[in-house]
A and B are shown apart, each in its own frame.
Chain A
């Protein structure tokens, strides 16, 4: 197990290097480069040269890349042009908030996805059809629109939950925690609804496959109760693909989180990144891509390990 995780971590290194290289090249190969982008219409050759010199952008590209990589390894993500703060500090403050939304959204989605198994069990019933149509609908809905609808319904029409920001009271203790939790409800619900709509379809078809397998018939034949057959045997097996799906979905969960953070004005990594792209604050943009890449790879690794733990047929070598 330990060796498996170690090997997967080692395999992640070239992918990570690739991510840094791709994002570095995208930013630096643009005509004019970051300096031109930073200055925008105010760019003059002299000012561009000045910025290039102070930021070390006049050195050859490979040298710049190696320097930047060395800084990244030492945790130095540069200084934000806009906030004039170390990028690492900004990222460290914002990442846990995004992880809270993505993590809670994922847990909620995992808990709700067995609805697909119920559909498979009641295949062809009215309930199955209704849920299939609904999941097609929510699956096709962009996160940002779903978020706005949530605000319209639960923030404006039925003012149950705060529809933006992260806290509204200052202080400490239980009140603050509840306040924070209530701000999380709509963003987490949005990400969960969108995700469950996709996942439950996989669970449904996986459960349909499982229910037709021999061991289910054996279970029934030897007189197990229907509950035991369905819940203990069929359901557990048909939920396995969810773990793989979780791994696949991590990039889209982070993409979704970005839109949700923008809609709910929730100060996480996505909002930080979006602000930075609008303001052309490239140290944050580059740092954001690297951090999201790392999180995605770690998430995939976790999904693989979980899968190996959950399915005894998988070997660690």
Chain B
């Protein structure tokens, strides 16, 4: 039974689809919350080192601002010998100009020294973060699509490849190599707590590495303007212990499970049938079935993900129903069409999708 849930309106005017408990805010505040993005207070090796560099520049910058502001205010307000109001035409100029020393010292010498040393710090840190400290334990091909992320775990020793969307799992404390590809326009891959961003450019294979040093869920986003739903092109990086990561990966490699419980079987079987009949397979794949679409996200383990629609909604039954029925109201311009399904079809479809753990 599809139950209406408390509704925080994304589009108040649209009442034709089941009420959805959206809320994006929830994503970050509930128990399985992701850490909100920030470039200081970092949890990964690369971001840590960059934060050090950031502090150096921030502190030096604030100091320079403070000194120059004080000098300016003093220059404007310091005491001077009084001059009669009527004598404002007097000029303060003695002919020879020793004031040029200000420029030589304040404008050239001091900035040159500051810039030289901060540049040295920059070079050291740039060398540190440009490549991982040791060989990456995994390579993930991340493909930017308008407006979602696909992650493919590339492994030489496995015949089955794990493909997922908008949720990238990594082992804690291990460097992971990312190969960034674009299916359409330029995007930029950014997990502020873990590393700087790298652009995702069609025709290029940019690489970067990330390493999360504490278990947790880290908020990630597209940083390069990529069109209508650039705002809703988010993802999470889930860092877990190497054991948990390996078992997750093992499950993700599997094709979709076929349920065996007889009572629900018919509902689920009819759900798969709805999936096929309604044209979902044109865009989505579910490995282990004949759904092989490559346009939208791979749904083989949809139910294992915490978020749907590239970080737009929490993965609840109500949200999923709302997304299927009227994605265009929730994320205007998205590739997901509004599916006109009967409530019975929707119910079976949801029942089926929920088995994709």
Co-complex (A, B): no
Residues of B participating in the A interface, judged by any CB pair closer than 8 Å: none
